[in-house]
Structure 1
Amino acid sequence: MIVRAGVKIHFFPEVESTMDVARELARRGETGAVVADIQRRGRGRHGRTWLSPRGGLYLTLILRSAPPRLSLLPLAAGVAVVRALRRLYGIEVRLKWPNDLLYRERKLGGILLEASFHREIPEFILLGLGLNLNTPVSGEEPRAISLLEILGHRVDRDELLRVLLAEILHSLELSPEDILRSWKSLSATLGQEVRVHTPHGEIRGRALDLTPQGGLLLETPEGLREVLSGDCIHLRST
C-alpha cells in the first residue's frame, strides 16, 4: 500500500472488479482508492463488460462525503481526467454525456458511480474510472482507442495516477456552477444530433445544454426534453 496525492492506494495484480473490492473495503470502514493491473470482470454502466487487460488504468476511489449535487460527481471526474491528460500529454480529449472520454469520437475511457445509502444519506460513494493506456485496443473494439495508439509510446501509469488523483480531489472542491461550466467547455455532445436510449424509450434531438442536475437538455420535434440518464449516441458532427 502506498500514498499518491494524499490518497492511500490499495494495489492488486488482478481482481474481479475494482468496484467490488472497493465496496468491500468501504463496508469495513476503509478509505482511499483501489487500483488493479487486470480486471477479470470489469464493468461499465448498466453492468456492461469493460475490457480490462494488463496495461490499462483501473481505479475506484472511495469517498465518504457527498458533494452538494451527487449527480454532478461523474461530470466533475470527467473534467479532472481531461485536465490530467492535457497536462501530461497535451492531447485533446472531450467528454461525451454522461460518462465517456473521447479522442476523435473514439472511446478512451469511462466513469462509473455507485453509492450506498442509509436512510437517504450516503454511507460511501464509489467513483470508478477505466482508461486504456498501454495496450492496443482498436483491434478488439474499433470504436475504442488507447494512449499508446494516440501518442505512439507507453505512458507511466504511476505518474498519471498521481496527477489524476490530484485533479479529481481538486474537482471535488468546485461549485456546481463551476462543474457545469467546465464540463460544457469540454463537451463533445453539446451541439450534436443525438439518440438517447432511456428506461422509458428512445429520444432523438439536438443536445442543447446541461440541466442544473447534470441531465441533458434536448431540442426535439415535440419541444424541449430533459433526460436525466441514458445511453447517448452521437448521430453526426456539427
Structure 2
Amino acid sequence: MPSEFNRIHYEEVTSTNDVCKEEHKKSSIITVITADKQTRGRGRNNKAWASPKGNISFSFGYTCSGLIDGLSVKAGLTVAKTISKSLGRPVKLKWPNDLIFQSKKIGGILVEAENVKEKFILVIGIGINFSIVPEETHWGDLDIDDYKLKEKFISELIKNLLKDIVDDPSPDWHREWNEFCVHLNQEVELENNETYIFKGVNNLGRMIGEKSSQTYVISESSLKVKGLY
C-alpha cells in the first residue's frame, strides 16, 4: 500500500525545510511543505538560495531508522525524471545535486537530517526555478508560468518520491542517474583543484573518477564543469 502523506502549503515561509522538520515532529505520516516564497532559503554548505514567488519551494519529510547514503543524488534523479516527463523539459543532472537545463542551473536538492528518539527525520528540500526575473538570468529557468502545470508537477513529484525513495527504491538507480548526467565521461574539477574524468556514480551516490588510468571513489565535493553556468 502506498505511503500516506500530509501536504501543507504556505504563501511565505522562512525555509520549507525548517517548517517541514517541525511539522513532521507532530505527525506520524510523511510531511510535504510547499511555499510560494521563501525568505531564507538555503542550499548546500548553507549558501543562500533565492526563492522568489513564482518558483517552487518544496520539502518532503519522513522518518527513517537510519541515514541513507546518496539520498540527495537519488532524489535529484527523481526530480529530473519528473520534470522531463510531466513538463517536457529535458533536464540533466550535475553531481552531486544540481538540476541543469540548457547548460544553466535551474534547481537543486538539499537533504537535512535530525536524530529524534533513536530515529532520523530526513527532509529532502527541492528548489526549482520555473520563471525568473531578467536580472537573475545568470541562473536558468524552465520558462513556465502556469499554475495548473506547477500543481500537476508537484502531484507527480510527490507520487514519484514516495515510490522511488520510500516505498520501492531500486538498487540500480545509479545506472539511470548516469544516463541523466550532463558531464559523463568529461573532465571535471573538484574543490581541491584536482581534475578527473567523471565516470558516473555508484549505488551510494559517490562519484567515480578516473585519473592516470586509476579509478577513484569520491564521496563529497562540488564540481566545476567547462561550459556549465
Could you say whether these structures have the same fold, taking a TM-score greater than 0.5 normalized by the shorter chain as the test?
A: yes
Given residue 128 of structure 1, which amino acid in structure 2 is its aligned partner? G
Structure 1 unaligned residues grouped into runs of 5+: none
Cα distance in structure 2, aligned partners of 1:112 and 1:214: 14
Task: Give 1:11 shift.
Answer: 1.0
Which residue pairs with 2:106 in the alignment? 108
1:189 aligns with 2:183: yes
Contact 2:108–2:127 (Cα < 8 Å) also in 1: yes
Contact 1:66–1:125 (Cα < 8 Å) also in 2: no
3-state SS, counterpart of residue 147 of structure 1: coil
Given residue 154 of structure 1, which amino acid in structure 2 is its aligned partner? D
Deviations 1:98-122 (A, max 9, x none): 0011012211110110111358x54
1:170 aligns with 2:168: no
Cα distance in structure 2, aligned partners of 1:111 and 1:137: 21
For these two proteins, the number of residue pairs brought into alignment is: 222
The percentage of counterpart residues that share the same residue type is: 26
Cα distance in structure 1, aligned partners of 2:208 and 2:17: 30
Which residue pairs with 2:146 in the alignment? 154
More strand by share: 1
Deviations 1:13-44 (A, max 9, x none): 11111111112223334641111111001000
3-state SS, counterpart of residue 70 of structure 1: coil
Cα distance in structure 2, aligned partners of 1:96 and 1:122: 30
Cα distance in structure 1, aligned partners of 2:115 and 2:7: 24
Cα distance in structure 2, aligned partners of 1:105 and 1:66: 38
TM-score by length of 1: 0.84
1:213 aligns with 2:204: yes
Which residue pairs with 2:128 in the alignment? 131
Deviations 1:119-178 (A, max 9, x none): 8x5421000000111x32463141x21122xx6x5353211110111111121212222x
3-state SS, counterpart of residue 86 of structure 2: helix
RMSD: 2.3
Distance of aligned partners of 1:222 and 1:64 in 2 relative to their CA distance in 1, 3 Å threshold: same
Contact 1:147–1:154 (Cα < 8 Å) also in 2: no
Distance of aligned partners of 1:70 and 1:137 in 2 relative to their CA distance in 1, 3 Å threshold: farther
Distance of aligned partners of 1:196 and 1:21 in 2 relative to their CA distance in 1, 3 Å threshold: same
Distance of aligned partners of 1:138 and 1:95 in 2 relative to their CA distance in 1, 3 Å threshold: farther
Task: Give 1:221 shift.
Answer: 4.2
